């Protein structure tokens, strides 16, 4: 479950005031709104990469407002994916588990499971600079869900994909999120994408977040 | 046309200087100079002191370059300016400042005295002074190179690493640092080249004692001062060769992060 309670964020000259939203556990929410209105800023605040001025951020009922990003247990796929240039596909899927000092057997099992779910078994030892846009998206998604977070934040994850790949990725997102019961907040400009994926929809305009 | 002419004049000046050096000396003079025990000792000390100064410079430059590239903090502008001071300071002033720092008496306590008598590690007019003088300038250039390197690396990957469970330190070590390897090599090369060319601070702070604090740049000065022009030119050419190797290495590595 994701809850924002009267959250205010200041980012240079840009500010958002008293933003509140609630997404029940396991639901898939889509956030829409014009470019530059602060959608990404909200996502960054939820995962702890941007400090908030006031308000509270709760994940599964726990106040994480003052917690470091590492302690929030949130999977995050930024718009630019930000894959690690020094790591191959396997290392991306292993990364969060290695940081958590999981056993080798458990890491190998989880990586194999993810590779099968995401359809990237044949890419597992490939360098990330040799991946297509859709393949990169799958790796970024796998990296974000590898440690079984309770919340998944997706910042326009399908915007750079062609229609066929986008439809495949939509289907994959639906399968993965439903199977893992992860609470998801997904930013998009695409109406079809929102209709296909959303359990609930939010719209951000002029600093006001409304449910639709 | 005019720009081409001006550029040609500069290039011609460099080529003519090197050609004059080469014409002035013969292979026998060069060989004789390099066989002198003093010059061989200076060559060894140059290699060792430049390498030591470079390693020390990297230990400072990598974290400081990262700090200046990634973080906004109180006094950042002051730190940024302080880093550049060894670059703009006249070399003799840097040496004099080091000498004064180690010998100024504060309430009867003196740094050099403390290091010599308490720690058993005298610095002034010994080899550590050579390394410290080289370190002062080399670090300033290394920090600049590392800062540019980290500026060119997208911090988003480190942000994502933090959401995956990394502390800031782990994100730096596991994500930023491996991407910066070319910049680190470039930084090391710049630091080494700067240390090689250092003369003024070494002369003032470490002296120019043969077989003890003599590096190749001081060798040129010492040979000139006793009228041994052939040996001075031979050592100069040796330094030119070392500098060219370093510059070619730098050119091969580039100054940016790995793509």
pLDDT tens for residues B78-120? 999 999 999 898 989 999 999 999 999 998 899 999 999 999 9
Measured CA to CA in angstroms, residue A40 lies from A25, A183, A193, B134 at distances of 21, 17, 17, 47
Closest to A99 (Cβ–Cβ): which among B154, B156, B170? B170
pLDDT category at B256 given cuts 50, 70, 90 is: very low
Secondary structure class of B84 (helix, strand, coil): helix
User: What integer pLDDT is reported at residue A190 of this predicted model?
Assistant: 86
Whether A80 has its CB under 8 Å from any CB of chain B: the answer is: yes
Average pLDDT over residues B234-240: 90
The complex scores an ipTM of: 0.91
Chain B interface disruption, residue of A74, A85, A149, most B CBs within 10 A: A85
CA B39 to CA B158: how far, in whole Å? 49
Residue B258 — very low, low, confident or very high, per pLDDT cuts 50/70/90?
A: very low
Say yes or no for a CB contact (<8 Å) between A95 and B157.
no
Task: Retrieve residue B28's tokens.
Answer: 């026998």
Using one digit for the tens of pLDDT, what is the confidence trace for B162-215? 999 999 999 999 999 999 998 998 899 899 999 999 999 999 999 988 889 999
A-B C-beta contacts closer than 8 Å: 61
Q: Going by C-beta distance under 8 Å and a sequence separation of 6 or more, which residues neighbour residue A103? A: none
Which of A82, A85, A99 minimises the CB distance to B165? A99
> pLDDT grade, residue B243 (50/70/90)?
confident
Mutating which of B150, B162, B164 best tests the A interface, going by the most A Cβ atoms within 10 A? B164
Which candidate, A95, A103, A98, A171, places its Cα nearest to that of A128? A95
Give the residue-averaged pLDDT of A54-79: 93
The predicted model gives A77-99 an average pLDDT of 94
Residue of A nearest to B174 (CA): A86
Residues 161-190 of B with CB under 8 A from A: 161-167, 170, 175, 178-179
Q: How confident is the model at residue B45 (pLDDT cuts 50, 70, 90)?
A: very high
B167:A85 CB<8 A: no
Angle at B256 between CA B255 and CA B259, to 5 degrees: 145
C-alpha B170/C-alpha B158 separation (Å) is: 9
Query: How many Cβ atoms from other residues are within 10 Å of residue B244's Cβ?
Result: 11
Q: B165, A96: Cβ pair inside 8 Å?
A: yes
Q: Is A51 on the interface with B (CB under 8 A)?
A: no
Cα gap B217→A52, rounded to integer Å: 56
Confidence label for B254 from pLDDT (cuts 50, 70 and 90): low
B84 Cβ under 8 Å from any chain A Cβ: no
Whether pLDDT at B257 is above 50: no
- The answer to whether residue A82 scores a pLDDT higher than 70 is yes
CA distance A149 to chain B (A): 9
């Amino acid at each position: 479950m994701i809850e924002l309670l009267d959250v205010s964020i200041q980012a240079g000259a840009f500010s958002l005031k008293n933003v509140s939203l609630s997404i029940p556990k396991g639901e898939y929410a889509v956030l829409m709104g014009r470019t530059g209105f602060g959608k990404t800023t909200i996502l960054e605040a939820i995962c702890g990469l941007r400090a908030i001025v006031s308000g509270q951020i709760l994940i599964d009922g726990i106040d994480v407002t003052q917690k470091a990003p590492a302690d929030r247990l949130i999977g995050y796929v930024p718009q630019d994916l930000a894959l690690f240039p020094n790591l191959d596909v396997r290392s991306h899927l292993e990364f969060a588990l290695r940081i958590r000092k999981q056993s080798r057997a458990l890491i190998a099992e989880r990586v194999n499971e993810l590779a099968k779910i995401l359809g990237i078994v044949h890419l597992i030892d490939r360098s990330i600079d040799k991946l297509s846009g859709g393949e990169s998206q799958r790796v970024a998604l796998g990296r974000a869900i590898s440690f079984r977070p309770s919340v998944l934040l997706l910042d326009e994850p399908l915007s750079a994909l062609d229609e066929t790949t986008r439809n495949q990725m939509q289907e994959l997102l639906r399968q993965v999120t439903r199977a893992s019961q992860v609470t998801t907040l997904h930013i998009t400009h695409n109406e079809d994408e929102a209709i296909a994926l959303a359990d609930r929809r939010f719209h951000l305009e002029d600093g006001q977040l409304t449910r639709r | 046309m005019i720009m081409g002419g001006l550029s040609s004049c500069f290039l011609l000046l460099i080529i003519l200087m090197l050609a004059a050096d080469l014409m002035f000396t013969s292979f026998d003079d060069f060989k004789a100079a390099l066989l002198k025990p003093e010059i061989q000792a200076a060559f060894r000390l140059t290699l060792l002191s430049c390498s030591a100064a470079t390693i020390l410079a990297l230990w400072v430059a990598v974290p400081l370059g990262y700090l200046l590239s990634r973080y906004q903090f109180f006094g950042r502008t002051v730190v940024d300016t302080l880093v550049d001071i060894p670059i703009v300071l006249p070399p003799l002033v840097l040496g004099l400042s080091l000498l004064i720092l180690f010998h100024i008496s504060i309430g009867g306590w003196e740094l050099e005295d403390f290091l010599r008598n308490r720690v058993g590690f005298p610095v002034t007019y010994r080899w550590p002074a050579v390394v410290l003088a080289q370190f002062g300038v080399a670090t300033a250039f290394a920090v600049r190179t590392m800062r540019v390197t980290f500026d060119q690396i997208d911090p988003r990957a480190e942000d994502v690493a933090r959401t995956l469970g990394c502390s800031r330190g782990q994100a730096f070590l596991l994500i930023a640092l491996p991407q910066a390897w070319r910049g680190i090599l470039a930084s090391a090369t710049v630091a080494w080249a700067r240390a090689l060319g250092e003369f003024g601070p070494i002369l003032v702070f470490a002296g120019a004692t043969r077989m003890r604090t003599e590096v190749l740049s001081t060798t040129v000065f010492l040979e000139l001062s006793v009228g041994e022009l052939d040996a001075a030119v031979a050592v100069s050419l040796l330094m030119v060769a070392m500098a060219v190797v370093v510059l070619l290495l730098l050119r091969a590595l580039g100054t940016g992060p790995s793509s």
